[in-house]
Structure 1
Amino acid sequence: MNVKMYKIIFFSWLLLLSINTFSQTTLENYLKIAAENNPELKATFSEYMAAMEKVPQVGALPDPQVAFGYFIEPVETRVGPQKWKFNLAQSFPWFGLLAAKENVATEMANAKFEKFENTKSNLFFEVKTAYFNYYFIEKAIEITKKNMEILQVFKRLSLVKIEAGKASIVDELRVELELNDLENQLALFVDTRNTIQTNFNNLLAREVSNSIEIPDTLWQDELPFDKLNMLDEIYANNHQLKSINHRLNAFINQEVVAKKEGLPKFNIGLNYTVVEKNPSSTAIDNGKDAFLFPSIGVKIPIFRKKYKALIKEAKFLQEAESFKKEDKKNVLSTVFSSSYKNFSDGDRRIALNKKQSQIAKKVLDVLIISYSTNAKDFEEVLRIERQLLKYELAYQQALIDKNAAIAFMQYLIGK
């Protein structure tokens, strides 16, 4: 192989790589637009931000209590009559209670965040699937038109044969039947394209009439991990499992809260009394206001039934989340197995239909030449033409099935 041939191969490979990179970059841009504009994603993020605002609420001390009293009939004392009375009190829970409540709220907020992340991953999967489906429908339209052009050529060839008396008019009518079927199928593809385009643009929250850029040839994605490690990655990174773990941690902390709620609470306060001067008193502290600080009180939770029920409630909620986690892992395992089967099946069908299309093209070329010389094998020409169309569409379908299966498994591992 000479130097010139090496250069041709290198630049051909570089061009193919740049096309695939551009195509994947285009899809990544669409994903970015969806992440920025999708209203459902914005809604789940707002729910997370609202949950975060719960943390400072539950971690704050109770509001202090202020009381004011006015003596309608002043109380006479040695130092003068009492006119006004003020009282300020602050309640303090048991040590660590507020921190435990903050932990509960934080874990619940983290669960909301994982819900947001799961919504984003699911949105990306839907965008990718819609993008792949749009690619398929565009290719289906292109392939169908190409097959219609082949039939038009074959129709003209049959007319020449009919005029020469070497073929029957039935040949032309059969071609017409095939063309009519393809025209109907083409119209269905066009309608389907409009539906997919609307769905895709709605996912991106933009005008439904916006065009969609697709590559000439769809790239083939590959699994980020081998099959043995994929399930471990799903268990470690799936956002739904992470959300369950955060809720489980929240209920563990809720048990701590319930236990500390059953412990004493303290009150610290001060009293200030305004005293007027007694004209008849000669005391040194005559008219001096009375100030008492601190006044200390203890709130003792005597009725234990309520707090025992709170502890049991937290334990049952922990148990429920543990069962949910076990069930979710079983579901994810089943779903992954099905998705991997779809991936493997798509990979096999890509190779098969590509090979079958190449063979069908060769057979069709030979049959058309045969028909053009001796007007034989007309029905076989039509049959192979149908097979060629089927294989070409099946190849494109297998391509998007493989990529869609990988996109779904990426969703499962939280990407």
Structure 2
Amino acid sequence: MTKQKTQIKLVLLFGICLSAFNSYGQDLQTLIEDAISNNPGIQKFDLQYKIATEKVNEANSLPNTDFNFGVMAISPEMEMPMERFNVSVMQTLPWFGTISAREDYAASMADTQFVEVTIAKRKLALSVSDLFYQLYEIKAIQEVLNENIALLQTYERLALTSVEVGRASAVDVLRLQIRQNELKQEIAVLIQKNKGLQAAMNSLLNRDYDNEVSVVPALEIPVNDNYYSYENLSVNPELLKYDKLYQSIEQSELVNQKESGPMVGLGLEYINQDNSPMITSPYKDMIMPMVSFSIPVFNNKYKSQTKQNELRKLEIKSQKNERLNSLKAKLSKAISQRNESRIKYSTQEKNLKRAKDAEEILIKNYETGTIDFDDVLDIQELQLRFQMDKIASIRNYYEQSAIINYLVSAL
């Protein structure tokens, strides 16, 4: 089971990180590994799995052995032999195959709990990925804002020069300065937002909230996407969990059938007697083997349990179908949103190129003395919007890719 657990962990990490692995190496994978190793929630599920595994040993046990001891407190004066004390031992044995059936049932419940551990780890990896991409977005936006501030400072110097020669108004300089202040304010707000996201990430990693979380400098949307269909959902652990539950109920019914059989008791009783003139044999004490049977004559309990198990299996089938429909909707939504991100990314790339061309025209116009700083601000705002929309598209693309990998990756 340990080897299987390790394999699942490796596949888990690979599945979540696959879509962006070439872009940023081990950064996200390292965070996911740290989270899985240190997160208290995962530790809780691991302990629950160990408890479920230990129940297999619990199932491999017999009922308590009965020991009885009796002693004659007051002996009446009689010539016939009297019992001084007696000792007996009795062991009840379940019907053949009952213990192995219980072990199989406990093992099936442990398998179900193991799937729960896997699901918890995958969900944790997804949460870490989501925060990682949000942190990337903040860092990328900060870089873009700093670039735009530097660009506005360049325009400000041009405006000051134009004011000196009478080709621009001081109002243009003030407007450029106001715009810089607005961008600096956005950077300050992003810094605070970044602190909150880092605290959330550190919470998942179970470490100090103010630890620095490094993210990649840049991400790009790959040229091609992998194709996924609804059939890929069949390997999702959230569905496998219902298969394991179904198997555990089948094992429970086997236990029920075995327990509906008789129980056999084997024992031995020893009776110690007083000496008596009526007994001439040296063997006055008695040893008596005992056998008992416990037969469930009124077995409505077991019939009812069988009916309940049949109903539980139908319930699990319904739950699985309901969850499958939910996962189909999530997969469809994730694929759709990822495609939307690709379309938006492509559009912003084109718009940025056009905005750069317009910027170059403005600079050339400045050389001829005809620059319009209203156009300068308009172009700058357009560039900034296109750049931020492009970053948002990248973040959403990778977030949706992580969700898709979560949905279609096998154990």
Same fold (TM over 0.5): yes
Tell me how far 1:89 sits from its aligned partner: 0.9
Partner in structure 1 of residue 344 of structure 2: 349
1:280-312 per-residue CA deviation (whole Å, 9 max, x = no partner) reads 35623244x32122x111111122222221111
Indicate if the aligned counterparts of 1:157 and 1:372 stay in contact, CA closer than 8 A: no
Residue type at the aligned position of 1:241: L
Unpaired runs of at least 5, structure 2: 1-19
Partner in structure 2 of residue 406 of structure 1: 401
RMSD (Å) for aligned C-alpha atoms = 2.4
Indicate if the aligned counterparts of 2:23 and 2:220 stay in contact, CA closer than 8 A: no
Partner in structure 1 of residue 31 of structure 2: 30
1:194-245 per-residue CA deviation (whole Å, 9 max, x = no partner) reads 11111112111122222222222225579995223xx323212x12111111
Partner in structure 2 of residue 292 of structure 1: 288
Indicate if the aligned counterparts of 2:32 and 2:125 stay in contact, CA closer than 8 A: yes
Distance 1:396 1:25 in 2: 21
| 1:94 equivalent in alignment to 2:92 | no
| 1:148 equivalent in alignment to 2:146 | no
1:252-296 per-residue CA deviation (whole Å, 9 max, x = no partner) reads 222222233222211111111223433x35623244x32122x11
Partner in structure 2 of residue 259 of structure 1: 257
| 1:185 equivalent in alignment to 2:186 | yes
Distance 1:97 1:76 in 2: 51
Partner in structure 2 of residue 376 of structure 1: 371
Partner in structure 1 of residue 231 of structure 2: 232
Indicate if the aligned counterparts of 1:223 and 1:406 stay in contact, CA closer than 8 A: no
Indicate if the aligned counterparts of 1:134 and 1:196 stay in contact, CA closer than 8 A: yes
Partner in structure 1 of residue 245 of structure 2: 247
Which TM-score applies when normalising by structure 1?
0.87
Unpaired runs of at least 5, structure 1: 1-18
Indicate if the aligned counterparts of 2:140 and 2:218 stay in contact, CA closer than 8 A: no
| 1:268 equivalent in alignment to 2:266 | yes
Distance 1:55 1:244 in 2: 21
1:139-198 per-residue CA deviation (whole Å, 9 max, x = no partner) reads 111110110111111112112112211112221232133223212222221111111111
Partner in structure 2 of residue 199 of structure 1: 200
Partner in structure 2 of residue 10 of structure 1: none
Partner in structure 1 of residue 384 of structure 2: 389
Distance 1:188 1:277 in 2: 101
Residue type at the aligned position of 2:342: D
* SS, match of residue 174 in structure 2: helix
Partner in structure 1 of residue 83 of structure 2: 82
| 1:331 equivalent in alignment to 2:326 | yes
Partner in structure 2 of residue 312 of structure 1: 307
Indicate if the aligned counterparts of 2:363 and 2:371 stay in contact, CA closer than 8 A: no
Indicate if the aligned counterparts of 2:27 and 2:216 stay in contact, CA closer than 8 A: no
Residue type at the aligned position of 2:186: Q
Partner in structure 2 of residue 302 of structure 1: 297
Residue type at the aligned position of 1:232: E
Indicate if the aligned counterparts of 2:52 and 2:110 stay in contact, CA closer than 8 A: yes
Mapping of residues 2-151 of structure 1, within 5 Å: 23-74=24-75, 80-151=81-152
Q: Give the direction of change, closer, same or farther, for the CA distance of 1:22–1:326 in structure 2 (3 Å limit).
A: closer
* SS, match of residue 212 in structure 2: coil
Distance 2:51 2:224 in 1: 36
Residue type at the aligned position of 1:327: E
* SS, match of residue 25 in structure 2: helix
Which TM-score applies when normalising by structure 2?
0.88
Q: Give the direction of change, closer, same or farther, for the CA distance of 1:63–1:220 in structure 2 (3 Å limit).
A: farther
* SS, match of residue 374 in structure 1: coil
Indicate if the aligned counterparts of 1:342 and 1:402 stay in contact, CA closer than 8 A: yes
| 1:360 equivalent in alignment to 2:352 | no
Q: Give the direction of change, closer, same or farther, for the CA distance of 1:225–1:74 in structure 2 (3 Å limit).
A: farther
Q: Give the direction of change, closer, same or farther, for the CA distance of 1:208–1:282 in structure 2 (3 Å limit).
A: closer
Distance 1:124 1:220 in 2: 21
Distance 1:253 1:153 in 2: 76
* SS, match of residue 72 in structure 2: strand
Indicate if the aligned counterparts of 2:126 and 2:402 stay in contact, CA closer than 8 A: yes
